[in-house]
Amino acid sequence: MKKLLAGLALVIAALVITGAVLAHRSDVVGSIDGHDVTRDELVFHRDNGRTLADVWTDKTIFVLAQEQGLTDSVDYDDFLDEVERENKRRADAIAKGETVYGVTDFAPEEYYTHRLAELRTGLEKKLGDGPLLVTDAEVRQKFEASKADWSANATTYAYTKLVVPGPAPTTIGDRLADVRIPGAKLSRETYGGAAATTGLSTHDQDLMAVLTKLAPGQISSPVPGTGQTTYYELDGTTVDESAAFATYSQRIRAALVEEKFDRYIQSREQDSHIEVDINPEDVQ
């Protein structure tokens, strides 16, 4: 009899413990590798236009960031506490007359976007010599695959320019050099290369808009001006590939790191253990 009572006591104790655990987890709607997603967290993401798939991806980034020492916690309640601490820190700094850059008082969604981008950047640096390593050969391959896209600002355009007085004539012919119109001015010019990489004036922007649409030997549509009309004929182009690669190699490398990061997170998420326990009201 004593053994039976003792056994019942153990069963009751187990039920009490189990009940306590379930009560504690009553707000949990899922988890990824043991990291809970609460109902409030899901509602927060839902109200800001994120799907459940987005939640798992973002949570994967936060978990990885925690493993890399970039954040202390991945829990939603801790995130809200962090928003409050950050806003207080900024308010205190302003009160002391210190300069505060950016937002002075974050809404949770603003801070979430800010923090996620910050962690992503930190992870790209942390993992840059590992799974996100981009070699010089990969950068060169990416450049060669879309050379025209990367070489626009390293291209020199040789063109013929014809300025005729008054409105556009009825016909202009096949070559500007053969046009004979009284008062017309013909010139051969070049534009581009290093001069076209920064600080384009409005005139330069308009010129580039015309030249980049022309094939060699093609004449532009008439460009009206004050008391005159201008035509452009593209004579040819030359590309300084070395200059183009030097200018864009870092941008290409950054783009490749982004691509590798997305693939790495996707692979990590696919290998994760995800549990979901969502009622219809949780996603309405």
pLDDT at 168: 87
* The pLDDT of residue 46 is above 90: yes
What count of other Cβ atoms lies within 10 Å of the Cβ of residue 192? 24
Closest CA to 76 of 41, 106, 114: 41
Percentage of residues in the chain having pLDDT higher than 90: 71
What tens digit of pLDDT does each residue of 142-199 get? 999 988 778 877 889 999 999 999 998 888 889 999 999 999 999 999 998 654 545 5
**Cβ contacts of 236 within 8 Å, gap of 6 or more:** 158, 216
* The pLDDT of residue 281 is above 60: no
Report DSSP letters for 166-231, one per residue: SSPPS---S-GGG---TT-EEEEEEEEGGGGSS---HHHHHHHHHHTTPPTTPBPPPEEETTEEEE
Q: Considering only 11-20, 116-125, 149-158, 187-196, which range has the smallest mean pLDDT?
A: 11-20
* The pLDDT of residue 38 is above 80: yes
CA 208 to chain centre: 27
Separation CA 283–CA 47 (nearest Å): 10
Mean pLDDT of 237-246: 89
Q: Running DSSP on this structure, what letter comes out for residue 240?
A: -
Bin 159: left if φ > 0, else alpha if -120 < ψ < 50, else beta.
Answer: beta
pLDDT at 201: 80
Separation CA 47–CA 50 (nearest Å): 7
pLDDT at 14: 36
Site of tokens 């200059």:
243
Angle between helices 108-126 and 241-270 (to 10 degrees): 110
Name the more confident of 209 and 7. Answer: 209
Mean pLDDT of 119-139: 96
Name the more confident of 281 and 240. Answer: 240
What count of other Cβ atoms lies within 10 Å of the Cβ of residue 219? 18
Is the pTM higher than 0.75?
no
* The pLDDT of residue 108 is above 80: yes
pLDDT at 169: 85
pLDDT at 170: 80
Structure tokens at 67: 């493993």
Alpha-helical runs (H) found in the chain: 2-24, 39-47, 52-67, 76-95, 108-126, 136-145, 147-150, 202-211, 241-270
Mean pLDDT of 256-271: 97
Q: How confident is the model at residue 278 (pLDDT cuts 50, 70, 90)?
A: confident
Q: Considering only 19-28, 63-72, 149-158, which range has the smallest mean pLDDT?
A: 19-28
